Structure 1
Amino acid sequence: MASFPNIYSHRRVADAATKPCEICYKPSTSVLVTPENKDFFFVCPGHLKDRGFCSPIIDEAAVAARKKKEMEAEVERVKKEFEEKQKKKKEKEKEREKKEKEKSKDKDKKDDDKEDNIDEEKKSSEEPPPVEEEPRVFALARTFFQQRIDKKRNAEIARRNRERLQNPNLFPQVPKGFP
């Protein structure tokens, strides 16, 4: 039997398909599966965070691409805010010129302060909190991976033995002649 790689993907199954965790035997909907589906087993999500059981495999290229995309989005957002501020600044200057003609400087200061406070509140409420996504690919610890290989090997040996025992040519023939 060929060995399989120590790369397991985390998948979720329906609640109706729960099976006991391989470690603690509690019902679980989380499954670790090898890429070619040669091996799979149910495991609790809490065990996936245990460094003694498995460690996440982080795709550096995907992380770098995600960070780059986030930075570009941040730059675009800052540019947009800057342009909006510039527009508001020009509008305020125009309003001030008009109001200077009217000579009511006291009311202008109060209105500008209120508008600045409202703008700051909108900006703080628009930013969504960053969402941490859980790792999806894991490598089992050496002992647990060796247990999985041994279990698969023993199952293969048991299957071969069953096939041999069902074959009638395995056992010797009864002698047909007299001694």
Structure 2
Amino acid sequence: MTSPFPNIYQLRRVSSDNAKPCTICYKSTQAVLVSSPDFFYVCESHLKDKQFCTVKYADGEDGKDAEYQSLHEEVRSLDQKATQIQHKIQQRESQLAKVRDYLWKPKDDENQPDLKKQLAEIIKQRDLASAKLEKFIKAYTRYMLDAVFYKSRLQQHSKKIRQQQIVQKLNNGTLFPSIPDLPKP
């Protein structure tokens, strides 16, 4: 049997006026997981829970997980470079370094790179890379529910369809059997 909707959900946000209770913990939330025609409100803290859902990137497209990993690695490496340069700057500006430079004049003043310019450049690169990573995450992040939660969503969907059919039969008058020989009033 095919399911009425796939187990791939996309995160959407609503305005604070339209916030509703989370399906799991009943706290007010603006996050909505959507898989047409199914949707439900959920706290963002639940999205980080491995027992609730797993993160997928761009349902079915190859290479998106690798692209995410490369962008994440680039941001992390730029962070490491920035911290190393900040450490070097702190070492140069320490009191011990100032005393050492005063007593023993460094010979290579012209050859030492300007660490503050390098730091500013690396921070600019890191900001660009992190913006690119955030844009990628926003565009391609999908959530795949755990089997238990997905089964629950399927059951709720089928229950909703059955209720709509009952209401439609009540409105049409076809829910109850008719008696053919009944005299009309």
Rounded Cα–Cα distance in structure 2 between residues aligned with 1:33 and 1:114: 60
- Following TM superposition, by how much is the alpha carbon of 1:137 offset from its aligned partner in structure 2, in angstroms? 0.4
Matched, 1:42 2:24: no
Alpha-carbon shift at residue 112 of structure 1 (Å): 4.7
Q: How far, CA to CA, are the matches of 1:3 and 1:42 in structure 2?
A: 19
Compute the TM-score of the two structures, normalised by the length of structure 1.
Answer: 0.64
Specify the alignment match of 1:146 in structure 2. 151
Please tell me whether Structure 1 or Structure 2 has the larger radius of gyration of its CA atoms. 1
Residue 125 of structure 1 corresponds to which residue in structure 2? 120
**Mapped partners of 1:63, 1:3: distance in 2:** 27
| Aligned mates of 1:63, 1:111 — CA distance in 2 | 50
Q: Pairwise CA RMSD of aligned residues?
A: 3.1
SS in 1 for 2:157: helix
Q: What letter matches 1:127 in structure 2?
A: I
Q: Give the structure 2 partner of residue 116 of structure 1.
A: 112
State yes or no: 1:137 paired with 2:142. Answer: yes
Kindly indicate whether residue 52 of structure 2 is the aligned counterpart of residue 53 of structure 1.
Answer: yes
2:177 equivalent to 1:171: yes
* Structure 2 stretches lacking a partner, 5+ long: 78-104
Note the C-alpha offset of 1:10: 0.9
Cα distance change of structure 1 residues 62 and 25 upon mapping to structure 2, 3 Å threshold: same
In 2: Cα distance, 1:20 partner to 1:112 partner: 65
Q: TM-score, normalised by structure 2?
A: 0.62
How far did 1:13 drift? 1.5
1:57 aligned counterpart, secondary structure: strand
Cα separation, 1, equivalents of 2:141 and 2:65 = 13
For 1:2 and 1:140, how far apart are their aligned partners in 2? 14
Measure the CA separation in 2 of the matches of 1:52 and 1:65. Answer: 25
Q: Displacement, 1:111?
A: 8.3
Aligned length: 137
- Alpha-carbon distance in structure 2 between the residues aligned to 1:168 and 1:58: 48
Identity of aligned residues (%): 31
Q: Which amino acid aligns with 2:159?
A: N
Give 1:91's aligned residue.
none
